[in-house]
Chains A and B, each alone.
Chain A
Amino acid sequence: MDYFIELFLSGLTRGSIYALIALGYTMVYGIIGLINFAHGEIYMIGAFTSFIVATVLSIYGFPLLAIVIVAGVAAAIWSSAYGYTVEKIAYKPLRRAPRLAPLISAIGMSIFLQNYVLLAQTSDFLPFPELIPEFAFMEPVAHIIGSSDLVILVATTVVMLALTLLIKFTKIGKAMRATAQDKTMALLVGINVDRVISATFIIGSALAAIGGLLIASHIGQINFAIGFLAGIKAFTAAVLGGIGSIPGAVLGSLILGLTESFATGYVSSDYEDVFAFSLLVLILIFKPSGLLGKAETKKV
């Protein structure tokens, strides 16, 4: 039974990290109908930024909590700057182009950013400092759930709640929902749609950066290519839940995380990805719009 609970909790941890990245995919898709393949790279840049900041701060002997907070904020800001810039130079000029054009542009951006980090940093795996210590009060349950799992679960829950409140109640949230529903009409009621799109990229990138910090400290190493697999997994989760739907992205991520965790625990870790992507294939066959997605009705 303990083993089951352990797998369940590690599945939730995995799933909530996927969710942080998947939200960026799904928000951007909801607003401009684009699958932002460079999003995984934004996450990778977040991990690198927090790595650099955390390493520098720990040399100067700052306390761990301060390091985590400063690294998290720095990563969120830096990744947002990348997300914002990518949108401005790679997607905005193609706003009126056929849908395939920005998609190809996104793949190009992804390759570019990977190679940019490869050249600017290194091709080696870098050891990421352990930012989350083992808490004393976690001792009795340490065989089931680690401290970093707990921190990840709490942090992602808080971030997702904040996002929900932002979208539901604030002015920018309303503008985002209006833009997703009818872009022309949003313009006509005086919403600056370009700014809303930028805000979406900034928020999505900040979430991915926080995901980058958490997962890098959990796994303990980073590399220029980590964005690719994480991006694909998060994309799978977003499609699973219904791309464009925010609760869908969270649900899809949790299901994907749990599936992988149980597959690793009960079958073999070699089959982790097989199970994850088989799940995607099954969902696409039986419910192509995803679990919570709406079937697309083409407007004429």
Chain B
Amino acid sequence: MKPILNVSDLSMDFGGIKALDRLDLDVCAQEIVALIGPNGAGKTTFFNCLTGIYLPNSGDIQLTCPQTGKKTRLNGLKPNKITEKGMARTFQNIRLFPQMSVLENVMIGRHCRTHSLVLGAILRNRRTRVEEQETVDKSYAILEKVGLAAQVDEFAGNLSYGAQRRLEIGRALATEPFLLLLDEPAAGMNPQETTELVALIRRIRDENQAILLIEHDMKLVMTLSDRIIVMDYGQKIAQGTPAEIRGNPAVIKAYLGEEVG
């Protein structure tokens, strides 16, 4: 399998605290990779570095488009450019546009894939109209996929918690990523919602998208992931298949502490 994300030697510190300490990591096409670790291990900081919200102190982040094989170095790019390159994310605490409808939230995700500008909106030429219709059609298809087709005109802020999470994934999908970053997608979900989420993530993977997720729900991580990466104090302390990770002494130590005596 060919890697689509290469992170090498990535470091980021806040004052004296090393949030990320020479981190190396790869994600391959169509792979589901889980990033786990105790609170404060630097997982979300890592996501923020990847998506351009933080600027890492050193290291390299490289994204390779699986279709064209084109490589792009992401360090220093603005978040909207990175999204254009094919990486999208969701947040730990839901960040939808609450005063826009469900449909509009997804349509917004298509922003970087369409080209008409203010002038097009005023003149309403053929290209603009075709493009707008295409945006609406694709957005409906995505809402169908995440199971929100019945609530298109609802305000995003009025949806149930589980539905908001799915809408956030839908909005990320609308940007047509080949790598999707999910930050604790199952947080606060009930068991049934979690089951639906697992099915959704598998479906997304089957459509040629790789997924990198941060998650604390170990049952979900163990059933879903192809590969698990464990972080602690900003460093990668282990990686492997779910079975390998389960028995790894370093992981147990990070989570539970060392046995005394």
- Which residues of A pack against B, CB within 8 Å? 166, 170-175, 177-178, 181-182, 184-193, 199, 202-203
Known pairs A177-B100, A191-B111; A185 contacts B80 (CB<8 A): no
- Measured CB to CB, the nearest residue on chain B to A199 is B118
In the assembled complex, B153 has its CB within 8 A of some CB on chain A: no
Q: Which residue of A lies closest to B117 (CB)?
A: A172
Contacts of B109 in A (CB 8 A): 189-190
A190-B112, A192-B80 are known; give 14 further A-B pairs, CB within 8 A: A171-B111, A171-B114, A172-B121, A174-B100, A177-B99, A177-B104, A184-B95, A185-B97, A188-B51, A188-B89, A189-B109, A189-B172, A190-B83, A191-B112
In the complex the two chains form, what is the Cα distance from A186 to B83 in whole Å?
A: 11
The reply to whether B100 and A178 form a contact with Cβ atoms under 8 Å apart is yes
Verify B116–A171 contact, CB threshold 8 A: yes
Cβ 8 A contact of B175, one of A173, A190, A203: A190
Q: Which 7 A-B pairs have the closest CB atoms?
A: A190-B112, A190-B83, A170-B121, A187-B79, A185-B95, A181-B97, A189-B109
| B83 and A189 contacting across the interface, CB-CB below 8 Å | yes
B residues contacting the other copy or chain, number (CB 8 A): 35
Q: How far is the CA of A273 from the CA of B121 in the complex (A)?
A: 40
Report yes or no: B80 in contact with A178, Cβ–Cβ below 8 A: no
Q: Show 27 residue pairs from A and B whose CB-CB distance is below 8 angstroms, ordered by the A residue.
A: A170-B121, A171-B135, A173-B121, A175-B108, A181-B98, A181-B99, A182-B95, A182-B97, A185-B91, A185-B95, A185-B97, A186-B108, A187-B83, A188-B51, A188-B80, A189-B88, A189-B108, A189-B172, A189-B174, A190-B80, A190-B84, A190-B109, A190-B111, A190-B112, A191-B111, A193-B80, A199-B118
A124 to B116, CA, bound (A): 45
Q: Which residues on A sit within 8 Å (CB–CB) of B24?
A: none
Cα A192 to Cα B111 in complex, Å, equals 9
Q: Which residues of B contact A185 (CB under 8 A)?
A: 91, 95-97
Bound complex: CA A25 to CA B79 (Å): 28
B43 within 8 A of A: no
A190, B42: Cα distance in complex, Å: 24
- Whole-angstrom distance between the Cβ of A67 and the nearest chain B Cβ: 23
Q: Smallest distance from the beta carbon of A188 to chain B beta carbons, Å? A: 5
Check B117–A184 contact: CB distance below 8 A.
no
Residue in B83, B121, B174 whose beta carbon sits within 8 Å of that of A188 in the complex: B83
Output the least CB separation between A125 and chain B (Å): 35
Question: A199 — which chain B residues lie within 8 A by C-beta?
Answer: 118
Nearest A residue to B174, CB-CB: A189
Task: Report chain A residues within 8 Å CB of B91.
Answer: 185
Q: B207 CB to closest chain A CB, in angstroms?
A: 19
Chain B window 170-193, contacts with chain A (Cβ cutoff 8 Å), 1 for yes, 0 for no: 011011000000000000000000
Q: Give the CA-CA distance A182 to B51 in the complex, in Å.
A: 16
